[in-house]
Amino acid sequence: MAYHHLAIAVRDIQKTHDFYERVMGFELVKVEVAPVSTGGWGKHFFYRMDEDDTRFIAFWALHDVPEQESFVYDLNKAGNLPPLTNHFSFNVDSQGELESRRQKWLDEGLDVFEIDHNWCHSIYTTDPDGNAIEFCNTTGTFSRQDREQALAALELAEFKPSPEPAMMKLWKAPKPQ
C-alpha cells in the first residue's frame, strides 16, 4: 500500500508553489479551502507526482490562525532535530534521472548533498521552508539476510555502524554572477 499524500504547512505558498511545480516538476491539480479546527482558515494545495492521480504531496497555506506568527515550518527545527533527519524522499528510476535532477537543483542555485548508500543512491537539498528533500534511486535488492539484520537492529543497544557509503559529496551551487 502506498501513501495517497503527505501534507505539511508552509510559510509562503507562492515560494512553495514555484519550488514544487517548476523546480521539482510536480503539478498543482487541486485546492481545498476549509476552516481550521483552532480558528482561521486554510488552503490545502495538492500537487500530482508523475502524472499519477493517486500520488500527491500537499501543502497548507494557513490564514488567520491563532499564534501563526510563532509557527516553525522546518520540520527538523520544529522537532529540535539534526538537519536531514526528517525528509521527503521521491523516487527516480535511473542514475541518469538522478543526475539530471541534481543538475536542475544546482542550476536553480541550490546546494546538493549526494550519497551512495550501497543499496540506493540519493541527492538532497532543501525547500523554501528548509525542509530536506531527497530524490532516491534504489540500486540494490534485499535478501533474507538484510531482513534478519533489520529485525535484529530493533534490539540493537550499541553503535554498530553500517558499511561506509560508497560515495558522499557536497555539490555547491555556482554563485550568481
For the stretch 147-160, pLDDT in tens is 999 999 999 999 99
Q: Which residue, of 18, 36, 65, is where some domain finishes?
A: 65
The average confidence (pLDDT) of the chain is 96
Look at residue 3 in the predicted model and tell me its pLDDT. 86
Do 53 and 107 sit in the same domain of this protein?
Answer: no
Which residues does the chain have with pLDDT short of 70? none
User: What are the Cα distances from residue 97, in Å, to 36, 53, 68, 91, 92?
Assistant: 39, 22, 38, 10, 6
Q: In terms of residue numbers, what domain contains 119?
A: 79-177
- Give the number of domains in the chain: 2
Do 118 and 172 sit in the same domain of this protein?
Answer: yes
- How far apart CA 72 and CA 37 sit, in angstroms, is 19
Look at residue 1 in the predicted model and tell me its pLDDT. 77
Phi, psi of 58 (to 5 degrees): -130, 150
CB 142: neighbour CB atoms within 10 A? 10
Look at residue 87 in the predicted model and tell me its pLDDT. 97
Torsion region of 72: left, alpha or beta (phi above 0 gives left; psi -120 to 50 gives alpha): beta
Do 89 and 158 sit in the same domain of this protein?
Answer: yes
What is the side-by-side order of every strand in the sheet holding 52-63?
5-9, 52-63, 41-49, 27-35
Do 91 and 56 sit in the same domain of this protein?
Answer: no
Do 87 and 170 sit in the same domain of this protein?
Answer: yes
Look at residue 111 in the predicted model and tell me its pLDDT. 97
Strands 27-35 and 41-49: antiparallel
Look at residue 2 in the predicted model and tell me its pLDDT. 81
Q: Which residue, of 40, 65, 90, is where some domain finishes?
A: 65
Do 50 and 90 sit in the same domain of this protein?
Answer: no
Phi, psi of 64 (to 5 degrees): 60, 30
From 45, 19, 29, 32, select the one nearest 131 (Cα to Cα).
Answer: 19
Q: Is the pTM of this model over 0.85?
A: yes
Kindly report the CATH number assigned to the domain that includes residue 61: 3.10.180.10
From 105, 121, 116, 117, select the one nearest 19 (Cα to Cα).
Answer: 105
